[in-house]
Amino acid sequence: MRTNKWLSVISLITTITLTGCNNQSILDSHNPIQSHKKEKQEIVIWHTYSDEETKVFENKIIPLFEKKYPTIDVKPVRQSYNEQLKFALIARASAQKAPDIVRMDITWVPFFAQLNLLYSVNKFDDFEQVKQSLLKRPLESNYYGGKYYGIPLNTNTKVAIYNKELLREVGYTKPPNTFNEIVDIAVKHHYLIGMSGYTSWESLPFFYALGGQLMNPDYTRATGYLNSQQSIQAFEKMLKLNGSSNFTTKQMANYKDTWQGVKDGNYFMVDEGPWFYSTQSPKSLKETLNKTVAAPFPVTNGKGSVLGGENLVIMKGTKHPKASWLFVKWMASPQPQEIMFKTGLIPTNKNVKLTDFNKETLYYYQNYIDGIEDAILRPKLTKWDKVDDIYTAYSSLIFSKQIGIKDGLTRAAKEIDQLLTEEKGR
């Protein structure tokens, strides 16, 4: 027994001695106790950046963040922007394997918020401070059911792009101020206006500019608005313009590529997003700037073109909400926003110094920035995609004359109303 006791004592002394050798600070009163290094946290972000944007995001932006916050590793995963991405996120969330952060289209936020899959950023103490630095209209796209579910990362809209020579021919030194002027010029001089298609993104600016209405202000009813006399007249005007060869879409026989067509003088006016400029080669861009001039889409009854863009959201299943929020709000700060602006993505932070960019870049981007203030925020509905599908389908039927205007709009309104009665969380 005594032998066993002494063996135990010797073993204990040996353990303490060895521990002291391996960590001098434990026994050395002259050195402070060494604190353990913080464990690194890995946050996963799913994004849908283009090839060029991905290079900048993954090779410049992320390393910059990780250098500033060395205890956080950011793992980017590029995804395709389509309906499958929605289903993949839902499936991952159900299996508790969702990414921490997602860059998603602004129209998707209500859908995921209603499913209770997004983390409300209102919960963070400094949210109000961050909020003050962001553009109002893009920020609004994150608001649903009384809470904010994300931060606007980049924004866009469409502008009106005119052929310079055709403008000069009719005595204009700058673009028309109203859409009615554009229509009058097109009719009088037999010019063509190009609308790229029938979806809400493609056609709502024209529909609203001609006096049309989609829903009531609360987005609870389409009947009485989409099929109102004003909306019927808006479609009548578009069909009349089309019949006199002053208006076309890519589904029609007289359609020609709008990008090249507006440069060649085949179109008096088309509308397009900032990628009209950012994706062109230097040679093609030079030709574009020489032959065209842009301006914000004309505002009618307080409505310009459609607001687009992407938001950064935090998935509710994240195990690292604070680290995720740190990355999200940092992405909306001036430095990363200025870097991504060089790829053609319009910043959402008010404090980005646009004067630091060359005059040529600012020349065409300033029109988009100016147009955002009056841009149309598409209805914040969980089933917006289905509403858009109905609007698009009936617009196509009306333009192809497979259905009458009044009948088509009334049917569309009725089907949309059915979806609106199912809407929750507003």
CA nearest to 104, candidates 45, 58, 60: 45
Q: What is the pLDDT of residue 252?
A: 61
Q: What is the pLDDT of residue 6?
A: 37
**In 54-94, which ranges are E strands?**
72-78
pTM of the model: 0.86
Q: Which domains does the chain have, with CATH numbers?
A: 41-156+308-372 (3.40.190.10), 159-306+383-421 (3.40.190.10)
Rounded distance, CA 176 to CA 172, Å?
8
Q: How far is CA 146 from CA 114, 120, 251, 336, in A?
A: 12, 10, 40, 29
Rounded distance, CA 134 to CA 18, Å?
57
Q: What is the CA radius of gyration of the chain?
A: 28
Contact 228, 290 (CB under 8 A): no
Rounded distance, CA 137 to CA 152, Å?
9
Q: What is the pLDDT of residue 25?
A: 33
H helices of 37-82, in order, are: 51-56, 62-68
Q: How are the residues of the chain apportioned to helix, strand and coil, as percentages rounded to the nearest 5?
A: 50, 15, 35
For residue 279, what is the DSSP state? Answer: T
- Compute how many other C-beta atoms are within 10 angstroms of the C-beta atom of residue 64: 14
Tokens 């060869």, located at residue: 245
pLDDT along the chain (426 residues), means of 10: 38 38 35 55 97 97 98 97 93 95 98 97 96 97 97 98 97 96 95 92 96 95 98 94 76 70 94 92 92 96 96 97 98 96 93 76 86 95 97 95 97 97 71
The H or E element spanning position 308 is strand 308-314
- Close Cβ partners of 146 (under 8 Å, ≥ 6 residues apart): none
Euclidean distance between the first and the last CA atom of the chain, given in angstroms as a whole number: 77
Q: What is the pLDDT of residue 250?
A: 66
For residue 251, what is the DSSP state? Answer: T
CA nearest to 195, candidates 361, 363, 368, 392: 392
Contact 159, 357 (CB under 8 A): no
**Can you read off the two tokens belonging to residue 48?**
């849908």
Range 243-268 burial, b when 16+ CB lie within 10 A, else e:
eeebbbbeeeeebeebbebbbeebbb
User: In terms of DSSP bridges, do strands 159-163 and 292-296 run parallel, antiparallel, or are they unpaired?
Assistant: antiparallel
